[in-house]
């Protein structure tokens, strides 16, 4: 049994609306259903969503502050003022800065740029940067993707005689800076109809306003990168920006974008929003995370192909380094959190800080811990000399992290962000009060339901529904991203036909799934270890996205696996394992991520003769078979756990009797998975289900072997030489003969009874027991997994 990592929710589309939309637009019911569930139920709405159009573009002068900003910039151009573009170091800030460079070049302006160093300076405007700007002769500053919270810094700029135009999209604070112009669609009194623009989207609207709406189409490529990278909703105007940007990017004239696509392994003529999100954006962000974002700005603004290739290669190397740094910090942060959980339990809001945690990647680390623990997470780097902490927050649905930080703003030097992500700085001495304040706030907001991760699927489908034609048709819903995700489908009751690992060290997994006569391949990235948990014939439910696999001119539908569940108790066939203890540890580790919401519990059952110690088992409970036909815990503490669900039961040794097997099943009535790790006896040493012929042949041999009193060990030795039966089998058959008075045992000697009373074999309890033990052994030694599962289920019903 494998539990899904999240609870799947699939909305039910109105069937009448689905049919009507499909009829009106001559589209498939599958596409029609997706449009309806995404709120595009009328033909007009659906066509605009699928095909775009001018309805999604708005007049830039609807943005409050634009009417003040444009004349001021034109005045600066006319009077040849020196302009400073002040940006940010993330992919949105880099894109915004690059777009403004292209604009100012186009206008023939005199300009400089400034992007703070993430680790050395941190987010936002800084007075020392303003001092530098004054020395450069700057009289006008245009901020991009930053500035809405820079009240004091903008006041300082005014003192220095510089005007500041703020273009930003972050949440405005209560106290707004007194800039020459504030352009932010989220300002409370801004009439702009679309509030979801990225920083680069606001910069693009400024360019449109300055150029009368007619901007070079290629600039939308840069706007698309920042919009996708900053996880802005791909709805409304953003959708049009990204759609146009992607179309232009497929024939990009920018050397930097061409080089970035190449180093990201993206085919230029098929690039999409997903490639931007997972290929281009991480490399752009790596520049600001581990070095300086200026390198990425240079890549997006260079006019030279050779320089572009060099810069793209540098960003690719930085991204690889970033991945290693993230992996190290995740390990350290997880260990620190697990210690805290052991001592205090899991907090509602996780706050972790340490020296040596690169501030450039703490946001990624926070995301990874959120995925694992499903709690709002804040990760901070502590400067070893000053004690100042800089960090990033990531939050779960239903918990506005910006509002949470606002509730304890007095404890921080600076903060800013969105409902789902934010950044902050404070001194290490205030970390305890900061964590307490956030958790106090969370206690009044969060409920147990918030901590259950839910994944929204678009619909339930069958493999037959998910054809190549369906995959091609779904592209009409692109570009995909925030608020318009790739469609997810739930397939129930598919059967695993085959699994195989892919990539270095088998890191990834390919699964062949079947429903009826229909077959499809599913790819699960980073889930190579899952293959060992899905033997052929396993019935699974999967949550997956539909894509197209293109190889050597061949195209076929393919699923990208997001989540998976197996609802039946599974048996893992590791019989005859060379190192059963090691294999038990490995199977337990593989199953840990699929334990569901119940506490994970692994149990090992073995003979006492193994003399295992708990340290060998790494947290698994140890139980042993006892001489009374039952099982007992290694220590008293484990006896308290009998009624809890067992995630995996590892049988290191075969039960010696059905009673021992029944004791296992009775002690652990709720078992998700069973791992069979017992040794396989040589055929000669096994029991056989007894027949009358077995006893008839043995009776004749005994007449000669034990006509006179003979030591039992000698009788067994001679019988084993004359029959194919094991000594174990022969010894248990002698028990039957003794019970029926066919032989006599006395002081280690056996004597054959020459004229016994006639008795039926079935009158012997030993005969019945021998049959039961032999049958159990036959199932455990030679039975298929399905046969063994049916046998264990019948035993379970007998003891329940």
| Residue in the block written with tokens 């910090």 | 329
Cβ–Cβ under 8 Å, residues 459 and 545: no
**Mean pLDDT rounded to a whole number for the chain:** 93
Residue 245 pLDDT grade (very low, low, confident, very high; cuts 50, 70, 90): very high
Cβ–Cβ under 8 Å, residues 669 and 625: no
Give dist(CA 617, CA 242) in Å, integer.
53
Cα 267–272–274 angle (5° rounding)?
Answer: 105
- The answer, yes or no, to whether residue 636 has pLDDT greater than 90, is no
- Tokens read off for 106: 């186009």
Q: Write the DSSP symbol of residue 462.
A: -
- The answer, yes or no, to whether residue 661 has pLDDT greater than 60, is yes
Give dist(CA 561, CA 525) in Å, integer.
8
Q: Which residues contact 46 (CB under 8 A, 6 or more apart)?
A: 21, 25, 35, 40
Give dist(CA 723, CA 733) in Å, integer.
13
Of the candidate ranges 12-26, 39-53, 626-640, the one whose mean pLDDT is the lowest: 626-640
Q: How many CB atoms within 10 Å of residue 536?
A: 11
Question: Which helix (H) or strand (E) is 289 found in, with range?
Answer: helix 281-290
Is 346-454 CATH 3.40.50.2000? no
Predicted confidence at residue 496, as pLDDT, reads: 96
Is 684-781 CATH 1.10.20? no
Q: 3-class DSSP state for residue 285?
A: helix
The answer to whether domain 56-243 and domain 346-454 are alike in fold is no
Question: Which helix (H) or strand (E) is 35 found in, with range?
Answer: helix 29-37
Q: Hey, what CATH class is 458-563 in?
A: mainly beta
Predicted confidence at residue 54, as pLDDT, reads: 62
Give dist(CA 91, CA 98) in Å, integer.
10
What is the CATH number that goes with domain 570-680? 3.40.1010
Predicted confidence at residue 347, as pLDDT, reads: 96
Q: What is the pLDDT of residues 507-531, one digit of tens each?
A: 999 999 999 999 999 999 989 989 9
Question: Domain ranges in the chain?
Answer: 56-243, 346-454, 458-563, 570-680, 684-781
Q: Which of 418, 411, 412, 416 is nearest to 395 (CA)?
A: 418
- The answer, yes or no, to whether residue 641 has pLDDT greater than 70, is no
Give dist(CA 633, CA 623) in Å, integer.
4
Span 624-651, mean pLDDT? 77
Question: Which helix (H) or strand (E) is 673 found in, with range?
Answer: strand 673-676
- Print burial letters for 454-469: b (CB count within 10 Å at least 16), e (below 16): ebebbbebebebbbee
Q: 3-class DSSP state for residue 396?
A: coil
| Residue in the block written with tokens 């449009």 | 35
- The answer, yes or no, to whether residue 534 has pLDDT greater than 90, is yes
Alpha carbon 404 to chain centroid, angstroms: 26
Cβ–Cβ under 8 Å, residues 375 and 348: yes
- The answer, yes or no, to whether residue 800 has pLDDT greater than 60, is no
Q: Count Cα atoms within 13 angstroms, Cβ side, for 788.
A: 20
Give dist(CA 184, CA 176) in Å, integer.
11
Span 760-771, mean pLDDT? 92
Q: 3-class DSSP state for residue 166?
A: strand
Predicted confidence at residue 799, as pLDDT, reads: 61
- Print burial letters for 406-434: b (CB count within 10 Å at least 16), e (below 16): bbbeebbeebbbbebbbbbbbbbebbeeb
Q: What is the pLDDT of residues 312-342, one digit of tens each?
A: 999 999 999 999 999 999 999 999 999 999 8
Give dist(CA 409, CA 535) in Å, integer.
53
Of the candidate ranges 310-314, 541-545, 576-580, the one whose mean pLDDT is the lowest: 576-580
More confident site: 632 or 78? 78
Alpha carbon 171 to chain centroid, angstroms: 29
Give dist(CA 390, CA 28) in Å, integer.
51
What is the CATH number that goes with domain 56-243? 3.90.1640.30
Residue 237 pLDDT grade (very low, low, confident, very high; cuts 50, 70, 90): very high
- The answer, yes or no, to whether residue 642 has pLDDT greater than 70, is no
Strands 539-551 and 554-565: antiparallel
Question: Which helix (H) or strand (E) is 389 found in, with range?
Answer: strand 388-394
- Tokens read off for 130: 């303003």
Helix, strand, coil fractions of the chain, as percent rounded to 5: 45, 20, 35
Sequence-ordered alpha helix ranges (H) in 54-126: 66-78, 91-107
Q: How many CB atoms within 10 Å of residue 659?
A: 17
């Amino acid at each position: 049994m494998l539990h899904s990592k999240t609870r799947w929710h699939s909305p039910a589309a109105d069937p009448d609306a689905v049919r009507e939309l499909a009829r009106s637009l001559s589209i498939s019911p599958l596409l029609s259903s997706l449009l309806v569930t995404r709120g595009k139920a009328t033909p007009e709405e659906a066509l605009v969503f699928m095909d775009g159009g001018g309805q999604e573009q708005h007049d830039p002068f609807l943005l409050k502050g634009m009417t003040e900003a444009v004349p001021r910039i034109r005045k600066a151009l006319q009077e040849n003022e020196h302009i400073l573009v002040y940006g940010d170091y993330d992919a949105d800030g880099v894109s915004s800065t690059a777009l403004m460079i292209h604009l100012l070049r186009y206008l023939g302006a005199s300009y400089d740029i400034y992007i703070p160093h993430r680790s050395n300076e941190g987010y936002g405007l800084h007075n020392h940067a303003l001092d530098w700007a004054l020395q450069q002769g700057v009289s006008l500053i245009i901020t991009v993707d930053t500035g809405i919270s820079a009240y004091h810094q903008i006041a300082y700029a005014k003192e220095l005689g510089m005007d500041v135009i703020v273009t930003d999209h972050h949440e405005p604070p209560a106290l707004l800076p007194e800039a020459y112009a504030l352009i932010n669609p989220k300002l409370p009194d801004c009439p702009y109809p679309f509030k979801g623009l990225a920083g680069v989207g606001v910069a693009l609207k400024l360019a449109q306003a300055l150029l009368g709406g007619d901007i070079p189409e290629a600039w939308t490529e840069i706007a698309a990168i920042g919009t996708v990278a900053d996880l802005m909703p791909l709805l409304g105007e953003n959708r049009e920006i990204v759609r146009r940007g992607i179309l232009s990017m497929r024939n990009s004239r920018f050397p930097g974008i061409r080089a970035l696509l190449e180093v990201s392994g993206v085919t230029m003529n098929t690039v999409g929003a997903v490639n931007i999100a997972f290929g281009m954006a991480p490399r752009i962000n790596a520049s600001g995370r581990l070095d300086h974002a200026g390198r990425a700005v240079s890549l997006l603004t260079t006019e030279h192909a050779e320089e572009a290739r060099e810069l793209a290669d540098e960003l690719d190397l930085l991204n690889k380094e970033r991945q290693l740094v993230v992996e190290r910090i995740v390990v350290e942060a997880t260990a620190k959190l697990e210690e805290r959980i052991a001592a205090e339990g899991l907090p509602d809001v996780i706050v972790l800080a340490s020296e040596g945690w690169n501030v450039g990647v703490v946001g990624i680390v926070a995301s990874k811990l959120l995925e694992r623990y499903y709690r709002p997470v804040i990760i901070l780097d502590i400067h070893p000399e000053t004690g100042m902490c800089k960090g990033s927050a990531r939050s779960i649905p239903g918990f506005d992290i910006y509002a949470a930080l606002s509730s304890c703003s007095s404890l921080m030097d600076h903060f800013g962000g969105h409902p789902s992500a934010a950044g902050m700085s404070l001194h290490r001495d205030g970390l305890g009060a900061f964590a307490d304040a956030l958790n106090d706030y969370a206690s009044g907001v969060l409920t147990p339901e918030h901590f259950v991760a839910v994944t929204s699927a678009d619909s339930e489908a069958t493999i037959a529904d998910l054809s190549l034609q369906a995959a091609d048709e779904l592209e009409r819903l692109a570009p995909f991203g925030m608020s318009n995700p790739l469609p997810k489908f739930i397939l129930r009751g598919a059967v695993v036909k085959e699994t195989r690992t892919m990539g270095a060290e088998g890191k990834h997994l390919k699964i062949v799934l079947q429903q009826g006569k229909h077959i499809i391949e599913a790819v699960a990235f980073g889930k190579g270890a899952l293959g060992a948990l899905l033997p052929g014939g396993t019935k699974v439910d999967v949550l997956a996205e539909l894509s197209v696999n293109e190889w050597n001119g061949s195209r076929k539908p393919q699923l990208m696996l997001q989540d998976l569940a197996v609802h039946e108790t599974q048996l893992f066939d590791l019989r005859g394992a060379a190192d059963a203890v090691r294999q038990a540890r490995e199977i337990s580790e593989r199953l840990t991520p699929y334990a569901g919401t119940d506490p994970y519990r692994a149990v090992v059952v073995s003979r006492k003769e193994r003399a295992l110690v708990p340290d060998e088992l790494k947290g698994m409970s140890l139980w042993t078979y006892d001489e009374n036909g039952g099982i007992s815990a290694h220590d008293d503490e484990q006896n308290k756990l009998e009624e809890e669900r067992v995630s995996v039961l590892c049988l290191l040794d075969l039960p010696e009797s059905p009673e021992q097997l029944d004791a296992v099943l009775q002690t652990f009535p709720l078992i998700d998975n069973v791992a069979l790790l017992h040794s396989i006896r040589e055929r000669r040493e096994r029991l056989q289900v007894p027949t009358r012929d077995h006893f008839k042949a043995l009776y004749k041999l005994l007449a000669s072997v034990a006509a006179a009193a003979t030591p039992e060990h000698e009788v067994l030795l001679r019988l084993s030489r004359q029959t194919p039966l094991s000594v174990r089998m022969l010894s248990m058959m002698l028990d039957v003969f003794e019970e029926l008075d066919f032989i006599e045992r006395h002081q280690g000697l056996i004597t054959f009874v020459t004229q016994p009373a006639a008795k039926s074999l079935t009158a012997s309890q030993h005969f019945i027991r021998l049959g039961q033990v032999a049958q159990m052994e036959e199932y455990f030694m030679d039975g298929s997994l399905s046969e063994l599962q049916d046998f264990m289920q019948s035993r379970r019903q007998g003891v329940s």
